Amino acid sequence: MIKVILNGDEMTFYEEDYRDFGELYDSLAPKGMVLKKIVINDIDVPPEKIDELRKSYVEDGTQMCLEFVTPKQFLEDMLPNVLNYISKTTSLLDHVVEKLREGERTALKEVVALTDSITALENLRLNVLKIEMIESQGFEDAVKALQKLLQALESNHIEEISASVERDVPVALEYYRGFFFKTLSQLRNSKEAHE
């Protein structure tokens, strides 16, 4: 038997009723909810790894604890970490610029990682807009700043790259910080209004 605790409710299933983990998971996942946490046999599994487990066989004796939340609650729980990440990243920009100007080649990898992070922030912003309508200003400035950074990277001139990291990246990060802060505030205010 498989023991499942789903949002605090305990239930059991027979492993032979499900061909794989994906089928069991799909039968359990509430519509319109987001997986916040999953523990399988006392092992925390990052929710983003669920797709990798879909074809796995579920053995007799498996114990699972799943926690689902609304998309808005998921955002409310996640956005403080995003804001913290943006603050930490912003505080490290001077160090990256310094490393670039000193000729450290690892600094270029950090700039590429920074562009990947900003891409992830943009993807998150687009997903937020599917869940919550947020009015924000400054998006065009952020896009222009990112275009300048990409042009600098294409030029492969360290001074242009370091100048762009110093000048343009803070503009983009400030936009995302403001957007996610406003989103979090709006979610919290909406929640308080309904309580």
pLDDT, tens digit, for every residue of 25-84?
999 999 999 999 999 999 999 998 999 999 999 999 999 999 999 999 999 999 999 999
Instruction: Say what percent of the chain tops pLDDT 70.
Output: 97
Asked if 25 and 58 touch (Cβ cutoff 8 Å), the reply is: no
111: left (phi over 0), alpha (psi -120 to 50) or beta: alpha
Q: Encode pLDDT of 139-190 as tens digits.
A: 888 989 989 988 988 888 889 999 999 999 999 999 999 999 999 999 998 8
pTM: 0.81
Spatial separation of the C-alpha atoms in residues 127 and 86, rounded to whole Å: 18
Per-chain mean pLDDT for the chain: 92
For residues 37 and 47, give the distance between their C-alpha atoms in angstroms, rounded to a whole number. Answer: 6
